Amino acid sequence: MSNVEMNQPGRMARRKKAMAWSFVLMLLAIFILPMSGYLYQGLSATAQADGATWQNQNPRANFWRSVREGNEGYTANKDVNGVLIQSAGQNWRQLRNGPIATLGALGMLLSISALLWFHFRKGAVKIEAGRTGQSIERWSKNERIMHWTVASLFIILGITGLSLFYGRAVLIPLLGGDGFAAYADFAKLLHNYLGPLFVIAIVVLVFTWFRNNIITAVDKEWLRKGGGLFGGGHASAGKLNGGEKLWFWLIATAGIAVCISGLVLDFPNLDWSRNTMQNANIVHSILALIWIAAAFGHIYIGTAGTEGSLEAMTTGKVDSEWAKQHHDLWYEEVKGSAGAATKNTASGDAQTSP
């Protein structure tokens, strides 16, 4: 038995352990980060656990209560012409906290439910012919660094963004008013400061992989067959299949729109109008929720959903049988290039030999 065959069980065990720890770390981040509000409650001598008390002690609530009672006020905001209560702002709040929040939560729930149903009904896609032990380079080191930079920022921004979006309804009952206020301040700063870095990373990603994601007739056929998962026989693919290209174009369109609207919200000192800020918030919220719901599928397929996929972005290499099964056209191209290189090397050695 060769060394490759002897070491294969150990490598597979390490891959499974890496996948398991990836899921554990993501789940811990999702659940533990919002719980940091408890730390504030435990360390602060003045923290109050009662959400109702927090509401009564909120100075902004007292101010707006006075405004709504019809008392005279003053505003230096030229955009509202001295009107303290803007009806468009109330409409924005009702739209954001009503249909957008409801449909966004429903969309994410449906995405997770569909993936769970698929996983327990059909299971992970295995390498049908088994591993060969021969590896093919799929992604370079720089490409993997770029991918994990974007992925890490996306997860942090997703957690903090969802916490702020649904925090009043979900987290205040869990953390209390002061606990949520402490976490919200931290989450807001983290979201606002990491946002511009995320924009830069997304722009670099789009420009780097743009040429590889032009949709061809092969990709359309792949999409028609659902990647071969829903019948219709084998679906051929180049280095990137139709599904991966759709994910790229979601980033290049909706993702860029999320970035632009986020920058508008991140820099209110540029004197945007209140209407512009409200519209940017609506666009940011809707597209970010769609992006997150779609990301669940991308994460699933790249980890537990497809055997051998995760190592492409961890080691940069994939098993040759994985390449042949999922990206047969790319596999043939790589094999042809390797064969030509070997032939040229052999020819050169023959010419230089005495």
Answer whether residue 347 shows pLDDT above 70. Answer: no
**CA 268 to mean position of chain CA atoms:** 25
Please say whether the beta carbons of 292 and 255 come within 8 A. no
Q: What is the mean pLDDT of residues 72-77?
A: 58
User: What residue type is 205 in one-letter code?
Assistant: L
Confidence of residue 11 (pLDDT cuts 50, 70, 90): low
**Which tens digit of pLDDT belongs to each residue from 268-288?**
888 888 889 999 999 999 999
Tokens of 312: 């492409």
> What CATH code is assigned to 18-66+92-126+134-347?
1.20.950.20
Q: How far apart are CA 93 and CA 285, in angstroms?
A: 12
Contacts of 245 (CB under 8 A, 6+ apart): 213, 214, 215, 219
Answer whether residue 188 shows pLDDT above 90. Answer: yes
Query: What 3-state class would DSSP assign to 278?
Result: helix
Q: What is the mean pLDDT of residues 61-67?
A: 65
Tokens of 156: 């942090």
Q: What is the mean pLDDT of residues 191-201?
A: 96
Q: How far apart are CA 158 and CA 279, in angstroms?
A: 20
Answer whether residue 329 shows pLDDT above 60. Answer: yes
CA distances (Å), origin 121, targets 47, 162, 257, 303: 48, 29, 36, 17
Please say whether the beta carbons of 295 and 152 come within 8 A. no
For the entire predicted model, the pTM comes to 0.76
DSSP string, 201-231: HHHHHHHHHSGGG---HHHHHHHHTGGGTTS
Least confident of 16-30, 124-138, 207-221: 16-30
Answer whether residue 198 shows pLDDT above 60. Answer: yes
Please say whether the beta carbons of 10 and 155 come within 8 A. no
Binning the chain into helix, strand and coil, the percentages to the nearest 5 are 75, 0, 20
Q: What is the pLDDT of residue 187?
A: 93
Q: Which residue has the tokens 């890496």?
A: 18
Q: What is the pLDDT of residue 343?
A: 53
Q: Which residue has the tokens 């390490």?
A: 14
Contacts of 347 (CB under 8 A, 6+ apart): none
Confidence of residue 48 (pLDDT cuts 50, 70, 90): very low
Q: What is the pLDDT of residue 149?
A: 97
For the chain, the structural domain boundaries read 18-66+92-126+134-347
- Secondary element (H or E) of residue 90: helix 87-95
* Helix 172-209 × helix 256-266 angle, to 10°: 120
Answer whether residue 243 shows pLDDT above 90. Answer: yes
Please say whether the beta carbons of 327 and 237 come within 8 A. yes
Q: What is the pLDDT of residue 47?
A: 42
Q: How far apart are CA 9 and CA 12, in angstroms?
A: 5
**Which tens digit of pLDDT belongs to each residue from 102-115?**
999 999 999 999 99
